[in-house]
Amino acid sequence: MEDAYTRSASEVLDFFAVDPIKGLTDSQVADHGRMYGQNVLPQEKSTPFWKLVVKQFDDLLVKILIVAALVSFVLALINGDTGLTAFLEPSVILMILAANAAVGVITETNAEKAIEELRAYQADVATVLRNGCFSIVPAIALVPGDIVEVSVGCKVPADMRMIELLSDQLRVDQAILTGESCSVEKEVDATSAVNAVYQDKTNILFSGTVVVAGRGRAIVTGVGSNTAMGNIRDSMLRTDDEATPLKKKLDEFGTFLAKVIAGICVLVWVVNIGHFRDPSHGGFLQGAIHYFKIAVALAVAAIPEGLPAVVTTCLALGTKRMARLNAIVRSLPSVETLGCTTVICSDKTGTLTTNMMSASKICVLRSTHHNPNSSEYTVNGTTYAPEGAIFDNDGVRLDFPSQQPCLLHIAMCSAICNESSLQYNSDKGTYEKIGESTEVALRVLAEKIGIPGFDSMPSALNMLSKHERASYCNRYWENQFKKVSALEFSRDRKMMSVLCSRKQSATMFSKGAPESIISRCTSILCNENGSVIPLTAEIRTELEAKFNSFAGKETLRCLALAVKRLPIDQHVLSFDDEKELTFIGLVGMLDPPREEVRNAILACMTAGIRVIVVTGDNKATAESLCRKIGAFDHLGDFVGHSFTASEFEELPALQKTIALQRMALFTRVEPSHKRMLVEALQNQNEVVAMTGDGVNDAPALKKADIGIAMGSGTAVAKSASDMVLADDNFATIVAAVAEGRAIYNNTKQFIRYMISSNIGEVVCIFVAAVLGIPDTLVPVQLLWVNLVTDGLPATAIGFNKQDSDVMKYKPRKVGEAVVSGWLFFRYVVIGAYVGLATVAGFIWWFVYADTGPMLSYGELVNFDTCHMRQTSYPCSIFDDRHPSTVSMTVLVVVEMFNALNNLSENQSLLAIPPWSNLWLVASIILTMLLHILILYIQPLSAMFSVTPLSWTEWKVVMYLSFPVILIDEVLKYFSRNSRGIRLKLRFWKTDLLPRREVRDK
């Protein structure tokens, strides 16, 4: 029954044909069970493990690598190789793919946990009326029409319509569903709100919420999937995980690379068809297989096998740095997504604010001799910590607040007329509340005012331990005034009172809604001299004006405090005693904005990131908070920038588009609205980060490009998110965005490094094949270069320091290619030099080396006809390991120099020297040591078909390798001074990667 909130209680009872005195009969329970189903969230079938594993290999680059590994293995067996070399290359490739698949499976398994976490919010049992008797039944057995009784501490077992209040009031904490910071009072009357959201349905108890005060009865209207919690589950199931921008670009790069690799491999094979019959191969088929092996080697050279591992490592390093910033990353790819975030949809309560109600304003009567009569004080401190000061109208700090009569009595009343408590949690290092937020705020205020009697009181309090300090002043007043009787808060009175005895006197302290307290007061306490004077109409009007200003313009939650002397022999309070009170003062409270939020939001604006505040609170309260933050002053007023969910839904399509582009505040929202906002922004090609802490936030967190949960939030929100803020602080998001941008820049650098290195390897093999010289590098050598000598420096590039101006630029576009235009040209030039230098080292040994055969170039390119003609050298020299060792060493060393080029995209090595990243220097040293190890240790040198080099050969290696730095310095110079050469050819106008739609809808 979806419209139960609009109907009267009797109408709902009639709809389900239930007697409110007897409840459902057994036959009705059975009928309703068949009709509406069980009161349980259906368990979604989880994806089988084997499907998750197979899914990780559904990638074109991965498939090419698998084929290359299998072909390499088969060809090795055909050639009769059964030793370690036959298995080394395919085994290493498959191990890398298995490691990446494991990371993917773990990530996807975590994503499914969010839906399971919802079950934790379902009640276990319920007190239900059936056949005229109350009994406790499993919550799963409830059916629509059941009459359920709830009381303090009960978890609501299903969606229910209130039919009867059994106490003065019934309050429910529904923050997990709506994000409201305070508990909500429930009523029996029907609601007339149009387009009502959960907050408007004040007669509905929602499944999973908790009763915090009172007792009542309600009729079940929705069970299982037909509850608010069920709607959240369904919304999460409908949400598909979006691929991150980097993942999309890498996928596109993989597709592009696969086509290029396939084309080059076929080209190399076709170009050499004329050589298939060369006698050296022993037949046409053997010749075809030989050149097919070269094509496979080319594929191995072209595919950056280490790229997935290096990307994963770099992102993991980023998560470590972000954890130190209190941002705990649950999904590795989300680290990079932060870098291109364009909109942050931020929850208000607990993220922009402290989620700790705090007294901020006090109004008391100064005396009737001044105009105005009232005096206003400001209280600072934004948490539950008893730390803060009180300032007068002129902004002067009060050194001894307790010396002011009204402030002293406010402290007394705040401590005595209070059911909450404040304590220090040493494990978390924070002060925590037990009870209603407004009452805890009064306790903290009493601590800030302090106690009278000592000139050194403020400093004396600071000498206490944090456990003692938490409630020292409150305990002092509780020891001074012994509670005798109390009148609890009720809806009609809107106040509570406590009778206390002290030194042969009886005093009643009262607190409540200002309109209720002021109307019951006949006198007022003066702050100037502590005298009590009659409450005149003029003073009453001034107090009411102050209250309206606090509650209206400043949107503070206000409480009025009062006192009354009673006869010493009175031991019980009655409602008649709550008359002729003496007004003490007015206290205005709010959930204060975090002090660091203003600068954090301004930093976002500088970085081109828009912040939209999203909250379940009402519009006026949210706008007031945004004004207090001070970061939205540039908007003037909020007209055209602030919308309630209902207002936004009523806009025509075109105006919705305009509203989305201007929106800064979105209020009175429920779960479906948050998800709708994320989708609408994504449709405008925005990259959206969404924050949240409640169950209600989970669908939006899952849908957003990056979902950010609060550390103090629900398990459901955390499971649905990509990142968790340990300190619940918006400023942490900004720090994480800066880190995300730095990580992307570093990721971009090592991807370019690996691409230029792989271009070099492709050029090396292709040029060797075209020239017709022997194989410069064997596949196992290429694999060593790709995995070890490429992988270590590429990983170390991830440690490049964050640029100081990283937050001064607009977010990069989602469709921005990792390598494009001028940059691609730069790295083709570098790659071409790497390849040519490698081939040059090979040719040098045969033609010019003193230790080589000193062949002519013509003899080298006709090596395959050596045994058919008379030569002055043995044909076995073409099997010598020296030339391929020189080539491999040139390739390794030139790539080490190229790694130094990637300390910065455009800055010279003179500006950013190698020691700015000591990890890179260390990785280069380690790589060279490993390379020397395989050259000079016998079992390894045989495995990699290499041999030790002489000092002359090492010098040639250095001569051929070092120029790569000079070439890139020239290219960087052009980049800095002319922002790159703008090539006019059509090929260069487009990205290296083919353009696609930003999102697949």
Quick one: tokens of 331? 């999904």
- Supply φ then ψ for residue 596, to 5 degrees: -85, -5
CA 149/CA 933 separation, integer angstroms: 77
Out of 146, 347, 577, 693, which one is annotated catalytic?
347
Q: Which of 115, 232, 221 is nearest to 174 (CA)?
A: 232
Q: Which of 706, 733, 708, 727 is nearest to 604 (CA)?
A: 733
Q: Residue 132 burial by CB count (10 A; 0-12/13-18/19+): exposed, middle or buried? A: exposed
Helix (H, G, I), strand (E, B) or coil at 289: helix
Around 829, how many Cα atoms within 13 Å sit in the side-chain half-sphere? 16
Longest Cα pair distance anywhere in the chain, in angstroms?
A: 132
**Do residues 509 and 563 make contact, with C-beta atoms less than 8 angstroms apart?**
yes
CA 41/CA 116 separation, integer angstroms: 9
Which one-letter amino acid corresponds to residue 492? Answer: D
Around 275, how many Cα atoms within 13 Å sit in the side-chain half-sphere? 23
23 secondary structure, DSSP code: B
Catalytic annotation present for 146:
no
Rg (the chain; Cα; Å): 37
Q: Which of 613, 118, 665, 591 is nearest to 384 (CA)?
A: 591
Q: Which of 131, 135, 162, 154 is nearest to 7 (CA)?
A: 162
Specify the residue for token string 């040719």.
Answer: 843
CA 158/CA 150 separation, integer angstroms: 11
Ramachandran region, residue 555 (left: φ > 0; alpha: ψ -120 to 50; beta: rest):
left
Dihedral angle computed from the Cα positions of residues 754, 755, 761 and 765, in that order, rounded to the nearest 10 degrees: 160
**Do residues 12 and 1 make contact, with C-beta atoms less than 8 angstroms apart?**
yes
Encode 413-425: b = buried (16+ Cβ within 10 Å), e = exposed. Answer: bbbbbbebebebe
Quick one: tokens of 668? 């009175």
Around 646, how many Cα atoms within 13 Å sit in the side-chain half-sphere? 12
C-alpha pair distances (Å), 826 with each of 232, 255, 975: 50, 22, 10
Question: Roughly how many angstroms between the first and final C-alpha of the chain, as a whole number?
Answer: 33
Alpha helices by DSSP H, listed for 550-652, are 597-606, 619-629, 645-650
CA 187/CA 969 separation, integer angstroms: 75
CA 910/CA 493 separation, integer angstroms: 77
- Count CB neighbours of 770 within 10 A: 12
Quick one: tokens of 706? 């990056």
- Number of residues assigned to the chain: 1001
Which residues does 601 contact at the CB level (< 8 Å), separation at least 6?
A: 611, 629, 631, 632, 730
Helix (H, G, I), strand (E, B) or coil at 361: strand
CA 546 to chain centre: 41
Which residues does 917 contact at the CB level (< 8 Å), separation at least 6?
A: 796, 797, 799, 800, 801, 903
Residues acting as catalytic residues = 347
